[in-house]
Structure 1
Amino acid sequence: MPDSSIPVPPCAEFNSSRGIIPEILDYAGEIRAWRRRIHAQPELCYEEFATADFVTEKLAEWGIPLHRGLGKTGVVGIIKSGTSPKAIGLRADMDALPIHEQNRFPHASIYPGKMHACGHDGHTAMLLAAARYLAKQRNFDGTIYLIFQPAEEGGGGGDAMIRDGLFDRFPMQAVFGMHNWPGLPTGSFAVSPGPVMASLNTFRILVNGKGCHAALPHLGLDPTPVAAQIILALQTILTRNLNPLDAGLISVTMMHIGEATNVIAECCELAGTVRTFSGELLDMIEARMAAIVRHTCLAHGMEGHFELTRSYPPTVNHAESVAVSRQVMAGIVGNEQVFDQQPTMGAEDFAFMLQRVPGSYCFIGNGDGGHRVPDHGAGPCTLHNASYDFNDDILPLGASYWVRLAENCLAPA
């Protein structure tokens, strides 16, 4: 565990005239090439071997010591300067999604059914660019841990790295994450204290009836109308049990029943997701869902089974770390381009890191999609869309944020 006797690094005075670091702009073309190489060779959860090899190759080229294998394919680089015991972590995710890319430009995915549709290629490239600068200049006093994380997209790679000893082997007083955000203007950031992304939870419901001939329904127990009643009743949890000032979501996304038009099925299966910003609210929703399933089924002489799997907790930013992030952002792009972060029901496994170490998770504007080169797909440039592409114009900006954040947190006494 981190040494709790070392305080979270305070904000230092920040020179607002610095802007994007000129040296990083000088090699912007290389950063773009790294990003597009990673984009063309996407790898899914815990399969990021080639991506980890590339990260390792670049860190070694710049003389940065590293460790591999945390969370199976994770990489941690270590940059030290001076004698201070203070340390921070900068995290980028590396994995892609099981989506067939619709873009046809030269750096499109070479692997059918795999695509960097969430911008993790850009996240990795920005942290690499920052690592190159930090390793050369070392204008800080302390230790920077570069965390290249696998399996964010549902695989819980952040938690896997923690269980493999991330914070025990590399103790740090703060950890920071960043995600590109389509729709947020290019050249801007957003960050706020408190919950900014929801918990990720999945549920499964089984309604067990009695199959029979569809023309003789009185001889069986039809699970279909019972499942329909359950679907509608689940929404009353949000409208009648949830405080209107709180936020929660229940989405039934799958319904599996039957195989023939003249057969009443034996069983109906429902599945979906629950999202909340607090554990207490999730506890209430889980209890009410279980009660609705059980009693609705009993009312029709059937058995019902309900289970909820809790995958990711809410992503909750720490106020002191957010203050550091906002000051650094304002020094680069100006106060008017640093926005309040609107909480989203999307989920992020950086939440596990923030449960263990103070820190902040911010958004960097990816623009509205106008940056895409010709031959992109016909769809929008939104996350998890087959026509998405990361905005290469923001690579130097994101790298500059990482550098100035590290220098600010680890400023010499």
Structure 2
Amino acid sequence: MKKVRAEREIRDMHNYKEIEHAMQRLYPDMVRWRRHLHQFPELSFHERVTSQWIATRLAEFGCTVRSDVGGHGLIVTIKGDKPGPVVALRADIDALPIQDEKECAYASKVPNVMHACGHDGHTAALLAVAAYYSANRDQIAGERRLLFQPAEEQTPGGAKPMIEDGALDGVDAIYGVHLWTPIPYGIVASRPGAFMAAADEFVIDIIGRGGHGGLPHQTIDSIVVGSAIVQAAQTIVSRSVNPLHPAVVSIGSFQAGTTNNIVAERCRMKGTVRTFDEHTRTLIHERLESVIRHICEMHGAKYEYHMRIGYPPVVNDDKEAERFFQVGATLFGEESVQRSEPLTVAEDFSYYLNEVPGCFMFVGAGNEECGATFSHHHPRFDIDERAMSKSASLLIGMAEHYASEFAG
């Protein structure tokens, strides 16, 4: 038995090296594809030209493409000659409403729109995966389903509509990567369980009674009421939430008043709630509304409160996360694989993981030497493009490891 396992491990190592070599050969194409997309970005729910361009590239590989899935999404189905599982791999294709401030030949040509989060790199990497599988259909056990998803950056997002349009029908497992500049090039990271947070947004309108600043007793000061809510909201996490369950309540906007001697009748606040489990999420929503209601009653003010429910938390399947550590170590070496801390940013890949087992993974794309030091959503954001090759290798490696285990 040990001999069979050892022979399989040697064979897998050989296959993984072949995958890496194939991605290295496709790397110049990835750079060219990514730089084209970077110059012509499109916002969430408006990725029509981007989708058409991707479909054209896929047709050149001989892929079967289904267009207009959940909006401007694409599904590529590549069936192998051997029986096996259906494994889905996903990339997002949308950009952000940010002016590109980089000084380079491939800077965005669209005013106030840029790929400031690496989605162009995700797309280029998945195109390379499509090219690889199209050329190696005889080696595929089962089916590889590639999802080019629109609208990750803006809720309600594109993942859910794609699922409703059949993207996961018959899928056994799903994997996705995110190029991540806070991690240096050469490192990959993930974790089992809760990985990224649910992100909800709220708006609070306080309605008081305006009046002269010199006669405050005749008014209900919305600024005072709003300030009390800001202070009280900070106690929700510190005094109502289990300290072992990470959570954030942040108020990022406070707008009221027009001049120095008029008590503001109305005040508007905007904020966000970040949580990693549904119990904590519900608790904070309820406590926040309770704080608003009681403070307004105490001051005699009225209020309007709206919570917009965002993406659920990204929760990796434990077994699939363990697969990541195995595959990552085989591909890149154990020293290049890290266990990530949970992050309070959101991703609609969570919807896929709510339906089928899978794993979301970070691929380091930071590098001072090439200027890839700026945070995501920054006007000068860029990546170490070599990370695209590692992303593609990791996606294929995960899919093939799952397929070999499925068959075994």
Report the TM-score when normalising by structure 1. 0.92
Aligned to 2:223: 224
Deviations along 1:343-365, one digit per CA (max 9) or x if unpaired, are 10000000011001110000001
2-side partners of 1:322 and 1:167: how far apart? 20
Structure number with the higher helix fraction is 2
Residue among 361, 377, 397 paired with 1:404: 397
Aligned to 1:311: 310
Aligned to 2:130: 131
Aligned residues of 1:86 and 1:142 also touching (Cα < 8 A): yes
Aligned to 1:8: none
Deviation at 1:24, TM superposition (A): 2.3
Q: Which structure 2 residues correspond to residues 247-396 of structure 1 after superposition, within 5 A? A: 247-372=246-371, 380-396=373-389
Aligned residues of 2:129 and 2:392 also touching (Cα < 8 A): yes
Segments of structure 1 that go 5 or more residues without pairing to the other structure are 1-11, 374-379
Aligned to 2:5: none
2-side partners of 1:27 and 1:282: how far apart? 43
1-side partners of 2:111 and 2:207: how far apart? 39
> Do residues 189 (structure 1) and 195 (structure 2) align?
no
- SS of 1:177's equivalent in the other structure is strand
- SS of 2:231's equivalent in the other structure is helix
2-side partners of 1:96 and 1:302: how far apart? 41
> Do residues 159 (structure 1) and 166 (structure 2) align?
no
2-side partners of 1:149 and 1:270: how far apart? 32
Deviation at 1:83, TM superposition (A): 4.1
Deviations along 1:299-346, one digit per CA (max 9) or x if unpaired, are 111123322221100000001111222222111101111100211000
Deviation at 1:85, TM superposition (A): 4.8
- SS of 1:253's equivalent in the other structure is strand
1-side partners of 2:259 and 2:166: how far apart? 52
Aligned residues of 2:177 and 2:395 also touching (Cα < 8 A): no
Aligned residues of 1:21 and 1:400 also touching (Cα < 8 A): yes
Amino acid at match of 1:165: G
1-side partners of 2:214 and 2:104: how far apart? 55
After superposing on structure 2, the runs of 4+ consecutive aligned residues of structure 1 that deviate more than 3 Å are 12-20
Aligned to 1:377: none
Amino acid at match of 1:143: E
Aligned residues of 1:174 and 1:357 also touching (Cα < 8 A): yes
Aligned residues of 1:182 and 1:369 also touching (Cα < 8 A): no
- SS of 2:271's equivalent in the other structure is strand
1-side partners of 2:400 and 2:104: how far apart? 37
Aligned residues of 2:366 and 2:383 also touching (Cα < 8 A): no
Aligned to 1:102: 101
- SS of 2:182's equivalent in the other structure is coil
Segments of structure 2 that go 5 or more residues without pairing to the other structure are 1-7
Aligned residues of 1:80 and 1:143 also touching (Cα < 8 A): yes
Amino acid at match of 2:68: G
Q: Which structure 2 residues correspond to residues 3-152 of structure 1 after superposition, within 5 A? A: 13=9, 15-16=12-13, 18-19=16-17, 21-138=20-137, 139-152=139-152
Aligned residues of 1:293 and 1:305 also touching (Cα < 8 A): no
Deviation at 1:206, TM superposition (A): 1.6
2-side partners of 1:198 and 1:370: how far apart? 31
Identity %: 36
